[in-house]
Amino acid sequence: MLTVRNLELHYGGIAALRGISIDVQKGETVLLVGANGAGKSSLINAVIGLVASSQGVMSFNGKDITRASCDARARAGIGYSPEGRRVFPTMSVRDNVLSGACRRGAVLQRDAWQWLCGIFPLLSERSEHPAGQLSGGQQQVVAIARAMASSPKLLLLDEPFLGLAPVWIARISEAIRHMQSRGTTILMTEQMARPALKLATRGYVVRGGEIRRSGSIEEIREVALAEEYL
């Protein structure tokens, strides 16, 4: 579904990605694990089109997306939840979530909202609250629900569990399992990999802007353990 070949990305003179290649097949949940500054967010941001690569090729469902706009990638079915609980702070919880479904018709938006409220009761309880007034865990739920509301074919989750209490980790894990059971393909990153290892089917270890290892989730768990990502 997603193919990335020899991707290079620079911020000014700093090389953040140095010839990265990954594949994500339909229906998989693939984990990118690595320390702070390894290049995980840069790779996710390159896939959604927020940053431009200097070299390399990316394709999604057989179409070259290397120079496609963010908007075109979203329309093609790539959804994105950024690192760090980025919500629209003054917009209500409901409007935040539905902004993810804004291209869908009113009926589909209502269905998406009801489906997400079933997974996260918090959304209906706080639907008219400004999202910026919620706790960190609650804001992360809103950001993930917004990405899910677009019913993406490929869902990019950048550090969905970072800094969250166990109760929120459990809820978000449950929502990710829902997306998996609907056939959604997922590419996620984690610095502290423990909860993500329970969800992913395969993974890559990223270090210094390169893929250092790829393998089954059991192999990635071993590396994560040795390199203290757990």
* Interface residues toward ligand ATP, by CB under 6 A: 11, 14, 16, 34, 36-42, 83, 191
CA distance 165 to 170: 9
- Is the distance from CB of 98 to CB of 109 less than 8 angstroms? yes
- Is the distance from CB of 142 to CB of 97 less than 8 angstroms? yes
CA distance 182 to 115: 12
DSSP 126: T
Closest CA to 156 of 95, 65, 93: 65
Q: Which is nearer to ligand ATP, 37 or 118 (CB)?
A: 37
Smallest gap from Cβ 42 to ligand ATP, in A, equals 3
Q: Which is nearer to ligand ATP, 56 or 130 (CB)?
A: 56
Count of Cβ atoms closer than 10 Å to residue 133 Cβ: 12
Smallest gap from Cβ 159 to ligand ATP, in A, equals 6
Smallest gap from Cβ 128 to ligand ATP, in A, equals 32
- Is the distance from CB of 197 to CB of 224 less than 8 angstroms? yes
- Is the distance from CB of 159 to CB of 133 less than 8 angstroms? no
Q: Which is nearer to ligand ATP, 41 or 139 (CB)?
A: 41
Smallest gap from Cβ 116 to ligand ATP, in A, equals 26
Q: Which is nearer to ligand ATP, 82 or 152 (CB)?
A: 82
Smallest gap from Cβ 143 to ligand ATP, in A, equals 15
Q: Which is nearer to ligand ATP, 42 or 150 (CB)?
A: 42
Smallest gap from Cβ 8 to ligand ATP, in A, equals 12
Q: Which is nearer to ligand ATP, 113 or 161 (CB)?
A: 161
Question: Residue 31 belongs to what H/E stretch?
Answer: strand 29-33
Angle (nearest 5°) at CA 91 between 86 and 95: 95
